[in-house]
Every structure is written in C-alpha cells, then in structure tokens.
C-alpha cells in the first residue's frame, strides 16, 4: 500500500557507482545521497542487494514529482538524462495512456514527475493542464463536485502558465478556450480562440496538417457561434455566475434581460430553465427548456436531461423517459443520464429497474457516489 506521503516510499543512500549494463558502470557523486525506491513501502528495512538501476530511477522520479525544493534536483535530472535519454517521451506516452484508461492517480504521478524533470517545457505544462481538466470532468460526472472544482482550479493555473509562456504556444490558447466554454466564460473563450487563430495565421494548411486545419476551423466555428448568439454578453455571464453560486433569483433577472435582446438563443432559454428548475419552478422551467429545443438546443443531451427532471416532478413519466432516451442517444455513455433513468424508475416505483441503472452507472464509473448511495438505500429498504 502506498504511503500518504509519497516521499516516504524512498530512502537515500550514498553510493559511488552503479552498474547500468554488463559493459558499463555509471559513476555517481558519493557526496550526494541518491533516492532509491523501497522494496516494501511499509517497512524501512534496507538491503544493499535490493538496489537496482530501476529502483534508483524510480526514486529519483518520486523526488522530482513531490520534492520541488530538494537542493539536488539538477543533479538527479542529469542522471536521468544520461541513463534514459528518451525518458521524457516514454513518460509522456505512459501518462497519456494512463489518462485514457482513467488510471488517474498513476497518470498524475507521472505528469508530476515530468514537470519535475523539465519544469520549463511548455508542452508538458499544457499536458498537465489537459489532464487536470479531464480529471475534473470525470469527478463532476461522478457527482464529486468539490473534487471537480479543485481540479478545475489546478487546471486553470497550468493553463495560465502556458498562455503566458514565451514563445507563445498556440495549442494552449486553443485548449484553454474549451476550458472557458465549459465554465460558460464565453468572452474569455472567444478571446482565446481569436488569439489561437492570430498565432497560426501564417501557417499554411500544408504545414498545419489535417489536425491543424481542423483546429483552425473549429476555432472559427466556436467564435462565430459565440458572436451569433451573443454569448459573450455581460448579462449572460452574470446569469451563469449567479445561478451557479446559488443566487438564482438575481441570475434569472439577468437572463431575462439577455433574452429580451436575444430571443432566439437556445443557451439563454436553457439558462432560464436551469435557474427555474433549481428553485423548483418546474412548470416554468419546462417551458423554457422546450423553447431551448426549438431554438437549437435539440443537439445537446443536457437540454433533454434537464427537461426530463421537470417531467419527473410533474409525474409525466412517459415524456420524462422519452427525453432521457433522446439524451442517451446523443451521449450513450453519460452516467448522469443513466443515473436519472434510475431516478425515473424509482419515481415509478420500479426498484428492480432502478437497481439495474445505478449498477450500470457504477460499471462505467466505480467512483460515482450518487449511484453508490442509491444502491445502498435500495439494499437497506426491504
């Protein structure tokens, strides 16, 4: 079992050299203690015969990841560069793979080691931001909102570091643009995408490649969407900030003002419905979501999902089911939608079907607290 403090998993020894292969030995500075990964994290026993190159490298990576004030970091980095010249590439590939497999703890450990190995590499910093951004989404979908907010805050800190880098890193602006979109900060998102296009304006399509061309087109599309729907309007931004912080009534005033000037913007109607639903005005919220669907919100699972909650409260279970199935057709692996199918089954009194849906959620995401709590309730109620 890993210790609560990762640095407790290493011990420091003074050695003069270590065999890297049958033909070569690597001479070390015997005045500098070398970190070595323990064989067993739970014991402090030391056996010189247990020392291997891999354990030294692992120990160094742990120090780089979790001890940024260690006075010997430059020396440890020099060892890694000599012993494993391609280590940075290998670690990047490993971290990305772990992230794709949602093995987040190990991925984060690798990313932190990478940052310790080369803290000036903007690409690594950007990858760290992207990782934290994705991990925040994962926790939010699992109902772990405090954890999600914490990872979002960390992600923004790394994004800001990359957009302030010299020379500028275009991809940093492209990716932070979507981060701002997630946060409904449309003015900041628009600025980020415009900066991305400005930084890549002199790059030809041939130089950019297929992915680069896609990013340019996507940035232009998002900017046009924000502009056409006036989503960077101050009233829209204020409405989101107020509603999300629990000041629904004030937020609703702002979104009403926005809709007076932008009556065909689906996001505005969605925001209105969201605020009304949060203060349990389900009938009015339902009408707002239906208007959102008419204005273009019919391509998003969230609109159907929110509308279903209103129908459940009105006990119109058939329409609620239709909305949730439509949402599921748009996002087939949305644990939020599957979970709400479970709540719909509970509202209908169908405990067995509810159990199936909540179990399915946990198959997709074993850390989903909402589904786990509902299953626990179902097991404890005869």
* pTM greater than the 0.75 cutoff: no
Whether pLDDT at 3 is above 70? no
CA 232-240-284 angle, to 5 degrees, is 115
**Residue 42's pLDDT is what?**
47
The average confidence (pLDDT) of the chain is 88
Whether pLDDT at 324 is above 90? yes
Residue 35 pLDDT grade (very low, low, confident, very high; cuts 50, 70, 90): confident
Q: Give which of 235, 250, 149 is closest to 187, Cα–Cα.
A: 235
Q: Using CB atoms within 10 A of its CB, is residue 65 exposed (0-12), middle (13-18) or buried (19+)?
A: buried
Residue 275 pLDDT grade (very low, low, confident, very high; cuts 50, 70, 90): very high
- Residue-wise pLDDT for 94-112, tens only, equals 998 988 888 888 999 899 9
User: Domains, the chain, ranges and CATH?
Assistant: 6-83 (no CATH), 117-228 (1.25.40.10)
Residue 36 pLDDT grade (very low, low, confident, very high; cuts 50, 70, 90): confident
Tokens read off for 39 = 């064989």
Which of 141-145, 156-160, 278-282, 327-331 has the weakest average pLDDT?
141-145
Whether pLDDT at 366 is above 80? yes
Residue 48 pLDDT grade (very low, low, confident, very high; cuts 50, 70, 90): low
Residue 1 pLDDT grade (very low, low, confident, very high; cuts 50, 70, 90): very low
Percent of the chain with pLDDT over 90: 49
Provide the b/e sequence for 133-162 (b: ≥16 CB within 10 Å): bbbbebbbbbbbeebbeebbebbbebbeeb
**Residue 2's pLDDT is what?**
46
Which of 1-10, 55-64, 294-303 has the weakest average pLDDT?
1-10
- Residue-wise pLDDT for 101-140, tens only, equals 888 889 998 999 999 898 889 999 999 999 999 999 988 8
- What is the rounded average pLDDT of the residues 217-224? 94
């Amino acid at each position: 079992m890993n210790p609560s403090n990762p640095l407790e998993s290493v011990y420091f020894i003074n050695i003069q050299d270590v065999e890297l292969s049958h033909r070569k030995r690597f001479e070390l500075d015997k005045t500098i203690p070398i970190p070595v990964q323990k064989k067993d994290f739970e014991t402090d026993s030391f056996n010189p015969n247990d020392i291997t190159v891999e354990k030294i490298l692992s120990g160094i990576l742990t120090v780089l990841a979790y001890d940024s004030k260690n006075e010997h970091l430059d020396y440890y980095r020099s060892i890694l560069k000599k012993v494993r010249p391609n280590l940075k590439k290998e670690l990047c590939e490993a971290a990305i793979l772990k992230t794709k497999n949602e093995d987040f703890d190990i991925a984060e450990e690798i990313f932190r080691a990478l940052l310790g190995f080369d803290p000036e590499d903007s690409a690594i910093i950007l990858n760290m931001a992207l990782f934290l951004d994705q991990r925040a989404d994962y926790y939010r979908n699992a109902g772990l909102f405090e954890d999600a907010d914490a990872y979002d805050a960390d992600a923004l800190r790394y994004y800001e570091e990359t957009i302030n880098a010299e020379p500028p890193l275009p991809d940093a602006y492209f990716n932070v643009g979507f981060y701002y979109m997630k946060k409904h900060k449309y003015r900041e998102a628009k600025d980020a995408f415009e900066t991305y296009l400005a930084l890549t304006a002199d790059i030809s399509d041939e130089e950019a490649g297929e992915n680069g061309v896609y990013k340019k087109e996507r940035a232009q599309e998002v900017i046009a969407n924000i502009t056409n729907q006036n989503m960077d309007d101050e009233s829209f931004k204020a409405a989101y900030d107020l509603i999300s912080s629990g000041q629904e009534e004030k937020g609703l005033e702002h979104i009403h003002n926005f809709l007076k000037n932008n009556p065909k913007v689906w996001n505005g109607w969605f925001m209105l419905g969201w605020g009304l639903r949060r203060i349990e005005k389900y009938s009015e919220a339902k009408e707002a979501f239906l208007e959102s669907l008419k204005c273009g919100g019919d391509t998003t699972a969230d609109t159907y999902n929110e509308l279903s909650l209103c129908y459940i409260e009105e006990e119109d279970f058939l329409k609620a089911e239709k909305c949730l199935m439509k949402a599921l057709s748009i996002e087939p692996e949305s644990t939020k939608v599957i979970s709400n199918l479970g709540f719909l089954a509970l509202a209908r009194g169908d405990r067995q079907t509810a159990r199936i849906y909540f179990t399915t959620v946990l198959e997709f995401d074993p850390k989903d607290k909402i589904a786990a709590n509902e299953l626990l309730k179902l097991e404890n109620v005869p």
